[in-house]
């Protein structure tokens, strides 16, 4: 009887030890089960970043192309068939050739309001000579009028320029002689007090640039 009494507690002790070992093994295996979850979270994060990247590229594309249509929204790039240059013509105005080496841009509502354009290559004319003939042309439009220097324009767009005006019964006549890249030009603006279009003509004149045909 004493042997049986000792044998039973030994069996119970062994069972308890085996159960404890099983529990410990399960506790050690639990972190290994959690690893796939971390992997899935990382994959989901990578997929989210890949999904967001095209949106950023789209925004950059819109920013790069957005400025292409805002430069001259109310004008049309026009090439002279009569001379080797181009300019932007504003809406409400029309461009036409007048005679060899002369073009006109006129107000569609009143063709007596216009700008005459004459262009030269730098090797063909001296700027001071062009300026002198510009002053003579203006004075001829009103021999009794006072020829005055005109300063109300942005001269920084030209390499060199000078402008004068004279008042006539109809309005101001303004002449601007200028030099820019590969071009020397003169524009003569015939404005009327009822139209007040001089600033429009000057804006168009500032876009004149040489082109090779």
Q: Are residues 94 and 48 in the same domain?
A: no
Q: Cα separation of 146 and 138, whole Å?
A: 10
Rounded to 5 degrees, φ, ψ at 49 are: -65, -40
Q: Are residues 87 and 179 in the same domain?
A: yes
Q: How many Å from the N-terminal Cα to the C-terminal Cα in the chain? A: 125
Kindly report the average pLDDT of the chain as a whole number: 79
Q: Are residues 88 and 116 in the same domain?
A: yes
CA torsion through residues 58, 59, 65, 69, sign: positive
User: Which tens digits make up the pLDDT trace of 85-126?
Assistant: 999 999 999 999 998 889 999 999 999 999 999 999 999 999
User: Which tens digits make up the pLDDT trace of 25-53?
Assistant: 434 444 454 444 454 555 555 554 544 44
Give exposure, 169-188, as e/b (b: 16+ Cβ within 10 Å).
ebbbbbbbbbbbeebbbbbb
Q: Are residues 112 and 26 in the same domain?
A: no
Range of the domain at 123: 75-210
Asked which of 14, 45, 68 is the last residue of a domain, the reply is: 68
Instruction: Please say whether the beta carbons of 211 and 83 come within 8 A.
Output: no
Number of domains in the chain: 2
Q: Cα separation of 188 and 191, whole Å?
A: 10
Q: Residue 13 — very low, low, confident or very high, per pLDDT cuts 50/70/90?
A: very low
Q: Are residues 89 and 125 in the same domain?
A: yes
In this structure, what CATH number is given to the domain that contains residue 181? 3.40.1000.10
User: Which tens digits make up the pLDDT trace of 116-172?
Assistant: 999 999 999 999 999 999 999 999 999 999 999 999 999 999 999 999 999 999 999
Rounded to 5 degrees, φ, ψ at 99 are: -165, 175
Q: Are residues 85 and 175 in the same domain?
A: yes
Instruction: Answer whether 0.85 is exceeded by the pTM.
Output: no
With H, G, I as helix, E, B as strand and everything else as coil, classify residue 144.
Answer: coil
Q: Are residues 50 and 82 in the same domain?
A: no
Asked which of 27, 53, 68 is the last residue of a domain, the reply is: 68
Asked which of 23, 42, 68 is the last residue of a domain, the reply is: 68
Q: Are residues 18 and 93 in the same domain?
A: no
Q: Are residues 59 and 98 in the same domain?
A: no
Q: Are residues 47 and 88 in the same domain?
A: no
């Amino acid at each position: 009887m004493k042997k049986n009494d000792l044998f039973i507690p030994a069996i119970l002790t062994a069972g308890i030890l085996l159960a404890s070992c099983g529990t410990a093994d399960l506790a050690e295996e639990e972190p290994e089960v959690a690893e796939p979850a971390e992997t899935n979270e990382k994959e989901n994060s990578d997929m989210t970043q890949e999904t967001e990247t095209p949106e950023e590229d789209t925004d950059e594309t819109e920013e790069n192309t957005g400025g292409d249509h805002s430069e001259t929204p109310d004008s049309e790039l026009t090439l002279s068939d009569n001379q080797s240059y181009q300019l932007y013509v504003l809406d409400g105005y029309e461009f036409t050739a007048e005679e060899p080496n002369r073009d006109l841009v006129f107000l569609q509502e009143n063709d007596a309001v216009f700008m005459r354009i004459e262009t030269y290559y730098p090797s063909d004319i001296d700027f001071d000579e062009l300026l002198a003939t510009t002053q003579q042309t203006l004075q001829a439009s009103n021999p009794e009028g006072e020829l005055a220097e005109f300063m109300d324009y942005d001269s920084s767009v030209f390499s060199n320029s000078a402008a004068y005006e004279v008042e006539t019964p109809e309005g101001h006549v303004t002449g601007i002689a200028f030099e820019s890249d590969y071009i020397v030009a003169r524009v003569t603006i015939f404005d009327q007090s009822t139209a007040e279009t001089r600033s429009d003509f000057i804006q168009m004149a500032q876009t004149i640039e040489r082109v090779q045909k």
